[in-house]
């Protein structure tokens, strides 16, 4: 009986305890206002101390500052209007920084500063940089090109090249074409990105075919996860091998998102597993955290790890094809973590897509933002 089995701590994320919910009856929505924060658990603070190398007091102060930054980011964006040049969290000062172009009005700058935000003049606006990235997205990228994203602080689109591939003729031609698209800088990264699905092994996953992945977030009627884990119509089994439901929608590459309906005695709850490292986290919304803020990930292979948001709207060049509008983080992950939850405080951020490295030596990972998935499929996040 599913209710008895669901009391087990190691159950795949978000299919643990709670009441049965009806599928597909609530319109899509996304909360953009962070809730009043409960005190951070000792486990969360310990994870941040381990992964971000902070003291307990520094971790507590950072979480409080990040909540403030998340709360005002959208307001500052609206105040800047067409002069908006991007935003990022400055961990050294604990404040949100917003870039504005030189033509920003004095009134807009005063309004933004009144929010407790630091204003910085940037050479290129967010719209210009987004247009540059869109032009690069139309190019065919060789395997030696890892990804590209807008860096608002630097005021360029950053193209990442796999180390040792910078002299490859196809890579050099791609970079030359990218530079003609607009302001571009190039950086090297240690390895090419890969998705993080895995063959069937033990743990608390969900399975489709011989692939193991991780559940992202509960929605009314099911859960969201990574698109590369299964195609529409594919059946899904839970940690105990019993049938959960099927992939109702899936997109990969171009995107990396999917959703699975829940039935057959399974149900959903607004919870992300802490895996014993921290208490399980309640999900209260999906307010998007700024670049520079801390974020933590839950997955069925490496469980709970934390890092920071490094970039947004990055195009990732997997071997299967490019995936767009991804968020890059310094959080580690390994095969089997695909589809798992990224959460900042109690706000859902996205589902694990892929990365490079591992949780022994470190690395970087990307997630597909959860609000994009909700909007695409008309889903409503299940919140506490």
Q: Under 8 Å CB-to-CB from 349, ≥6 apart: which residues?
A: 286, 288, 289, 295, 327, 342, 343, 367, 369, 370
Write the DSSP assignment of 49-64 as a string of letters: HHHH---HHHHHHHHH
Do 268 and 15 contact (CB within 8 A), yes or no?
A: yes
For the chain, report the end-to-end CA distance as a whole number of angstroms. Answer: 25
Write the DSSP assignment of 72-85 as a string of letters: HHHHHHHHHGGGEE
At residue 83, φ and ψ (nearest 5 deg) are -85, 0
Q: Which residues pair with 329 in a beta bridge?
A: 309, 365
Q: Which residues are catalytic?
A: 228, 256, 338
Q: Under 8 Å CB-to-CB from 117, ≥6 apart: which residues?
A: 72, 76, 95, 96, 97, 98
Cα dihedral 326, 332, 335, 339 sign: negative
Do 72 and 115 contact (CB within 8 A), yes or no?
A: yes
């Amino acid at each position: 009986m599913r209710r008895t089995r669901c009391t087990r701590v190691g159950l795949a994320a978000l299919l643990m305890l709670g009441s049965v919910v009806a599928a597909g009856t609530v319109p899509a929505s996304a909360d953009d206002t962070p809730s009043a924060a409960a005190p951070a658990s000792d486990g969360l603070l310990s994870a941040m101390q381990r992964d971000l190398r902070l003291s307990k007091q520094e971790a507590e102060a950072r979480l409080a500052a990040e909540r403030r930054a998340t709360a005002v980011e959208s307001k500052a964006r609206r105040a800047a209007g067409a002069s908006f040049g991007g935003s990022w969290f400055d961990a050294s000062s604990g404040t949100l920084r917003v870039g504005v172009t030189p033509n920003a009005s004095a009134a807009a700058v005063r309004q933004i500063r009144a929010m407790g935000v630091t204003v910085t003049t940037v050479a290129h606006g967010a719209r210009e940089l987004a247009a540059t990235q869109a032009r690069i997205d139309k190019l065919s990228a060789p395997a030696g090109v890892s990804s590209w994203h807008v860096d608002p602080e630097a005021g360029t689109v950053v193209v990442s090249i796999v180390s040792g591939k910078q002299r490859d003729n196809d890579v050099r031609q791609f970079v030359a074409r990218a530079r003609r698209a607009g302001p571009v800088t190039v950086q090297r990264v240690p390895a090419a990105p890969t998705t993080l699905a895995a063959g069937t092994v033990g743990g608390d996953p969900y399975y489709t075919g011989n692939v193991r992945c991780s559940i992202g977030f509960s929605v009314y009627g099911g859960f969201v996860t990574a698109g590369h884990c299964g195609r529409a119509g594919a059946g899904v089994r839970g940690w105990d091998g019993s049938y959960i439901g099927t992939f109702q929608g899936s997109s990969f590459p171009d995107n990396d998102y999917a959703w699975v309906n829940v039935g057959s005695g399974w149900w959903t709850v607004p919870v992300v597993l802490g895996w014993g490292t921290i208490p399980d986290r309640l999900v209260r919304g999906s307010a998007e955290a700024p670049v520079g803020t801390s974020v933590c990930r839950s997955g069925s292979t490496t469980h709970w790890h934390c890092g920071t948001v490094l970039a947004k709207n990055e195009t990732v060049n997997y071997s299967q094809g490019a995936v767009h509008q991804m968020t890059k983080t310094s959080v580690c992950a390994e095969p089997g973590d695909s589809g798992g939850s990224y959460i900042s405080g109690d706000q859902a951020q996205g589902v694990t897509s892929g990365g490079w490295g591992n949780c022994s030596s470190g690395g970087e990972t990307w997630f597909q933002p959860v609000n994009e998935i909700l909007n695409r499929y008309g889903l409503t996040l299940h919140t506490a």
